[in-house]
Every structure is written in C-alpha cells, then in structure tokens.
Chain A
Amino acid sequence: MSALSPALEIRLLVGREMRRCVRSAKGIALGLVTLLGAVVTSLLVTSIEGVDRSMAGGSTEQFMELKRQAIEHQTGNAALAAQAANMPVSLKAFLEVTVWLSPLLIALLGFDAVSGELQHRTVRFWTVRTRRSTYFVAKLLGLWGLVALVALAINAIAGGVALSKGYVTGGELLSWGLRFWLVAVVIAGAWAAIAIFISSCFRTPVVALLTTFATFFVLWVIGFLFANISRAQTMLQSQALDVRMRWYEYLYPNAYESMLLSDEPHRPLLGAAILLGFVACMAAAGSMLFARRDV
C-alpha cells in the first residue's frame, strides 16, 4: 500500500504546476506585462500622490484630513473614512490594482490548467500516479500560489517606489503592505477556485476561457449593481430596497475587500472565513466531479 501522503503529493504537484506556469510562453508574457505595468503604475500613482500632497500644503496631517473628508463625503461612512485615511495611498491604490487585475490574470493563467491537459490527454500521465482530488487541489493551489507571488511582486514594487519617495515609512510598508497583500491573496483564492473548477469541466480550453470570462463578468455585474445600490441607500438613508438585497454584493469576491480591511477584529476574520470556506467548497466539489469524470 502506498505511503505517499496527499500533502506530499500536493506539494510535488504544486511545484510542478508553478514551474509549468512560469516556464510557459503565456506565463512569461503575462508576468512581464504585469510587472512592467506595476512599475509604470506605481510611478504614476506616487506622482499623483505627490501632487495631492503638495495641494494639501505638504503636511502629512493635512493630507490625511483632506483624504478623510473626501472619503466620508463619498461613502457617507465616517468610521470607514477615518480608517481609510490612515492607509498609505500608494499601497492602497496597488491593492485596488491587484484586486482588479488578479481575476484577469487568474482567468488567463487558469483557463487551460486542467482543460489543456484534458484536451491533449496529458493528464493521463498523472492520473495513474496521483489521486484525482489531489491533482485538482494542486492545480488550484498552484494557480493561487502563482497569483500570490505576482501580487507580492506588485506590492513590493509599489512599496519600494512609495518608500523611495518618502510617502511611507519602512514600518508602514511592512504592516500595511503585508496586510494589503494578504487581502489580495485571500480574494484571489476565490477567483482561482472558480477558474480551476470551470477549467476542469471542459476539454476545450477556449470554451473554458470564454466560460471563465463570462462567469467573472456576471459576478462583477452583480457586485457592481448591488454595491452601488447599497451605497446609494446608505447615502440617501433610503429603505427603498430590501436590506437583505445588499448581501448579493457578496457574491462578488472583491466585495470582501472592505470587510477584510476593517478595523473591527471580527469582520476580517469573517470575510476570510467566508472566502476560504468558498475556496474549500469549490475544491471539494471540483475534486469530486473531476474524480468521477472520464479523462
């Protein structure tokens, strides 16, 4: 009887999966574009922050107060505004960029992760050596891990630029940078789970790609609509819509960002638990379906 544990099996498979992504022409191209984009955007964001700071009179306190007022005006939420005003602008901007870009990156990296190997039957070299469930989970973790590394690289570049301009201190960079990165990673996990699940359902990668984009788009539309409805209700103090409808916003993984960044201790934990629970459910369902299918 075999003694190779699922954990070791997953470790071997994840290593292979990440190497595969990094070595493929698609992976190299996407990585370069992402990092180049990160450098250009970080320079852009920090220069905008520089202009804002000079408009605020050059004082960090004045700049933060202006920021707080602007956010409170926009959201109507004083607590949120006070919290957001403390966040380093450049790093926060990069969190937004990462959270927005990661679904795109995940769709492009993940659509053929399983479907490509099903199409060419490459998967057959693995199914006699690995449990189908670990194969699926490793594909998910490999993609998630890769996106986490890309997010880390983006945050490091942004942090480096902001640090060099003196907009953040080393301490802020470590604390906020790490926190923003973790938020981006947790959210990326949900997108990665959806992408790998879809990829394992199709033999034709282009069908998997289109389905992934369609699903992501539908989720974005749901998130966008219900977030704005919710925001409008808050600002107008209206009860026109059923309050339960605002929870539909949370079908969109990026909607958890504010929850994960909240200063209230239970909200980040709840947000992370929901997202990681979703990842676990998708992994379980995907593994089960993949184990039952013909390859």
Chain B
Amino acid sequence: MQPQGSAATRTESVAERDTAGRHPSGAASRKHADAAIHLRRLTKRFGTKTAVDDVTLTIDVGSVYGLIGPNGAGKTTTFSMMSGYLRPSEGSVDVLGRSPTDVDGLRSRIGVLPQDAILPATERVGDLLVHLARLQEIPSSKAIELARRALADVQGEDWWNQRCGSLSHGMAKRVALAQSFLGDPEVVLLDEPTAGLDPRVAWEMRQLIVAKKGRCTIVISSHNLQELEEVCDGAAVLDRGRVIASGTMAELTAANEEVHIRVGRGTRRGSQSGQLNLAQVRELPMVKAADFDEEELLLVVHFERKQADAETVIAHVLWLLLNNQVRISGVTKGRGLEQRVMDLT
C-alpha cells in the first residue's frame, strides 16, 4: 500500500513501517501539530500477555477514525489507553497534546463512550447528565439545557426522569452515547457505539455520528465493518495487539485502485453477446489488469489511479459490458472493508 494523505486523516500506512510493523525512528519523532490523537510506540501488558504491542498511530483533527480487528486484537485496550482508563506499559498517548490522564487539560474537551460501563442504576437520566455536564464546567442553568439536547439527539427526551437501572440495554447505550457528546467535546471516543442496538436505532446512531463529522474528531472501535466503512475517513486494523494495516478508508479498501463488478448468473467469458469479453476490458487505457472469476461471477478491474478515478473506470467498463448484453448485479469501489479485514486477519 502506498502512503497517502487526505484532508481528513493522516494515518501512517503499512508502507511506513518495517516488516516487524515498527516505525522508523524519524517517523515516530516527527511533529504532529494537527493531530488530535497521537499514539507513540504504545504497549500494554497484562502480566505476561501483551495486549497492545508497539502501536503508533496519528489521528488528525476533525477526522472520523476506526479501530478494527477481531476479538482480542487489542482495540478496547488501545481505546482504554486513549481514554486514560489504562496506563501504558510503554510508549505514550497524546490527546489534544496532553496525556489522557490530564483531566484538567482535557475536561470538557474529550467525550468517551466506554464499551461495557454500566450507568449508575439508582440515578435518574436527567440528573446524571446534568451532573456530568456540571463536571465539565458547564454552569448549572446551561447544563440542564445541554443535557436535554444531548438526550434529544439520541431520541431519549422521554427518559429524563427514568432511573438508569430501568433502561433497556439499547436505551442505556443511547444515554451513554448522549453523555459522550455532552457539551460538544473536541474529541469523542466511541467503543462499540451501536452494539446491541436494533437496526433502526443503530442507523439513527450512525446518522448522529455522521452529523457530528467535521465538528469534532471521532474515534470508533467496532466490529461492525460496514458501519465503519460508512462513517470513517480512516482506520487502523489491529490483530494480536499490532497494527497490521492503517490508512484512509480508500487506501484500506483499495477503492482508488480497483472496482468489483458482479455479473448475472450464467455469465461466461467470451466475445459473443451476453458473454464477458475480458480482452476488451483489458484494452481500456486506464486499466492495469482485469480478472473474471466465473464461479464467483466477479469481475475485478485494477486501474491506474493517476489516470482515472473509480467512477470513470466503472462508467467505461459498464459501457462495454452493457453493450455486450451482460447483466450486472452489483458494483463496488474496492474490495470492501470486510473483505480487506478478512484478507488481513
């Protein structure tokens, strides 16, 4: 993968690391003036087990960044060190240029949705949000207004007087999400924000995150790759405590390098009408290579991104296929994050 910067994220791609996944010292020591979060050779050990191993990442201000990986990959541990819940065994974390345990420097500038933290059962939702807002230095008169607004953002206006212990899992999750966005912090860390939510509510929560995009830096740790692909500008894929790939979403999914076209059942390679003429596709000037898997009914077209963007390639290839009466059942830019993660882990 080639390193590529983007307006929203500047992640350090696989190409920047050596084969052991370690950073060259120059890269590690460079300045991160516009970084919202910077992890430097971060390591966490629990006894003899190394949960996070020498992770270096930079997340730019204003980006939405995903932490991806299978169970036990070290996502939540990394997330917990960013949030100041866990202390690194080695390395360091900077959030807005400060240690995450520097509460005075980060109070009201950072919001966190911990994955499995239970809300205090005996407290009323409204009282809790107002109390948390007050701790963020929001005056009591404004705290009530902001707490109500945060609750409204998660469609929970009616829960103001309900005790947290009486909320369903989904409702509690949304209250927890509301507290993380309370007072519009500059950095919001979300650990599995839609886990356990029904599809409709999960969609609404994604819309809420998308609506916050650009107004704050958001880091999402999640198993839901489709969700991450939808909302994130960039991501890091972790496996066994190490970053095995990172970059912009386009880099990770190769969306700027290949397109996948799924064709109708029964389509075969050939030059006759209704057949897929691979030679014609390969002759397109921007196409570097093209392969057709007859079992999967999948045409993969690799292209030179300097010559054309994915949309142009799709238009040209589809034109050829449709002229040849080939039935199309789906088109995607790149491999899709899910496929990419499956390939990597």
In this complex, how many residues of chain A approach chain B with their Cβ under 8 Å: the count is: 30
A241: CB under 8 A from chain B? Answer: no
Inside 8 A of A120's CB, which chain B residues have their CB? Answer: 117-118
The answer for the CA separation of A173 and B153 in the assembled complex, in Å, is 55
- Shortest beta-carbon distance from A3 to chain B in Å: 7
- Shortest beta-carbon distance from B234 to chain A in Å: 23
Interchain CB contact under 8 A, A16 and B118 = no
Interchain CB contact under 8 A, A129 and B85 = no
The answer for the CA separation of A173 and B80 in the assembled complex, in Å, is 55
Interchain CB contact under 8 A, B107 and A129 = yes
Interchain CB contact under 8 A, B123 and A128 = no
The answer for the CA separation of A124 and B123 in the assembled complex, in Å, is 16
The answer for the CA separation of A127 and B101 in the assembled complex, in Å, is 8
Interchain CB contact under 8 A, A16 and B119 = no
A295: CB under 8 A from chain B? Answer: yes
Inside 8 A of A129's CB, which chain B residues have their CB? Answer: 103, 107-108, 132, 135-136
- Residue from the set B86, B87, B117 with the largest chain A CB neighbour count within 10 Å: B117
Inside 8 A of A126's CB, which chain B residues have their CB? Answer: 135
Q: Which residue of A lies closest to B120 (CB)?
A: A122
Interchain CB contact under 8 A, B132 and A125 = yes
Interchain CB contact under 8 A, A3 and B137 = yes
The answer for the CA separation of A122 and B122 in the assembled complex, in Å, is 12
Inside 8 A of A132's CB, which chain B residues have their CB? Answer: 101, 103
**When the two chains form the complex, which single residue of A1, A9, A13, A121 contacts B114, counting CB atoms closer than 8 Å?**
A121
Q: Which residue of A lies closest to B98 (CB)?
A: A1
**Interface size band for B:** 20 to 34
Interchain CB contact under 8 A, B104 and A1 = yes
Interchain CB contact under 8 A, A131 and B122 = no
Interchain CB contact under 8 A, A128 and B122 = no
Interchain CB contact under 8 A, B103 and A294 = no
Interchain CB contact under 8 A, A9 and B118 = no
Interchain CB contact under 8 A, B105 and A4 = no
A23: CB under 8 A from chain B? Answer: yes
Interchain CB contact under 8 A, B137 and A2 = yes
Interchain CB contact under 8 A, A122 and B107 = no
Q: A12-B134, A128-B110 are in contact. Are A2 and B105 (CB under 8 A)?
A: yes
B112: CB under 8 A from chain A? Answer: yes
Q: Which residue of B lies closest to A21 (CB)?
A: B122
B84: CB under 8 A from chain A? Answer: yes
Interchain CB contact under 8 A, A12 and B135 = yes
Contact with B along A3-38 (1 / 0, CB 8 A): 110000100110010011001100000000000000
- Shortest beta-carbon distance from B304 to chain A in Å: 46
The answer for the CA separation of A161 and B86 in the assembled complex, in Å, is 54
Interchain CB contact under 8 A, B85 and A294 = yes
A130: CB under 8 A from chain B? Answer: yes
Inside 8 A of B85's CB, which chain A residues have their CB? Answer: 124, 127, 294-295
A292: CB under 8 A from chain B? Answer: yes
B106: CB under 8 A from chain A? Answer: yes
The answer for the CA separation of A125 and B107 in the assembled complex, in Å, is 12
The answer for the CA separation of A276 and B115 in the assembled complex, in Å, is 39
Inside 8 A of B83's CB, which chain A residues have their CB? Answer: 124, 128
Inside 8 A of B112's CB, which chain A residues have their CB? Answer: 124, 128
Contact with B along A237-267 (1 / 0, CB 8 A): 0000000000000000000000000000000
Q: Which residue of B lies closest to A295 (CB)?
A: B85
Interchain CB contact under 8 A, A122 and B108 = no
Q: Which residue of A lies closest to B111 (CB)?
A: A128
Interchain CB contact under 8 A, A125 and B103 = no
The answer for the CA separation of A79 and B84 in the assembled complex, in Å, is 58
Interchain CB contact under 8 A, B114 and A124 = yes
B116: CB under 8 A from chain A? Answer: yes
The answer for the CA separation of A127 and B132 in the assembled complex, in Å, is 11
Inside 8 A of B137's CB, which chain A residues have their CB? Answer: 2-4
Q: A3-B137, A125-B179, A129-B132 are in contact. Are A23 and B122 (CB under 8 A)?
A: yes
- Shortest beta-carbon distance from B279 to chain A in Å: 59
B41: CB under 8 A from chain A? Answer: no
Inside 8 A of A295's CB, which chain B residues have their CB? Answer: 85-86
B213: CB under 8 A from chain A? Answer: no
**When the two chains form the complex, which single residue of B101, B108, B122 contacts A2, counting CB atoms closer than 8 Å?**
B108
Inside 8 A of A9's CB, which chain B residues have their CB? Answer: 135
- Shortest beta-carbon distance from B255 to chain A in Å: 35
Q: Which residue of B lies closest to A129 (CB)?
A: B135
Q: A2-B105, A23-B123, A128-B110 are in contact. Are A122 and B136 (CB under 8 A)?
A: no
Contact with A along B282-296 (1 / 0, CB 8 A): 000000000000000
Inside 8 A of A294's CB, which chain B residues have their CB? Answer: 80, 85-87
B327: CB under 8 A from chain A? Answer: no
Inside 8 A of A117's CB, which chain B residues have their CB? Answer: 120
The answer for the CA separation of A210 and B137 in the assembled complex, in Å, is 38
The answer for the CA separation of A130 and B118 in the assembled complex, in Å, is 18
The answer for the CA separation of A295 and B110 in the assembled complex, in Å, is 17
Among residues 52 to 100 in chain B, which have CB atoms less than 8 Å away from a CB atom of chain A?
80, 83-87, 100
Interchain CB contact under 8 A, A127 and B84 = yes
Interchain CB contact under 8 A, A292 and B87 = yes
The answer for the CA separation of A128 and B84 in the assembled complex, in Å, is 7
**Which 6 pairs across A and B sit closest by C-beta, in order of nearness?**
A121-B117, A120-B118, A129-B135, A124-B114, A2-B107, A23-B122
Residues of B within 8 A of A (CB): 80, 83-87, 100-101, 103-108, 110-112, 114, 116-120, 122-123, 127, 131-132, 134-137, 176, 179
10 CB < 8 A contacts A-B: A12-B134, A16-B123, A20-B122, A122-B117, A124-B85, A124-B117, A127-B103, A128-B103, A130-B135, A132-B103
Known: A124-B117, A126-B135, A128-B112. 6 other contacts (CB 8 A): A2-B103, A121-B114, A128-B100, A128-B106, A128-B111, A294-B86
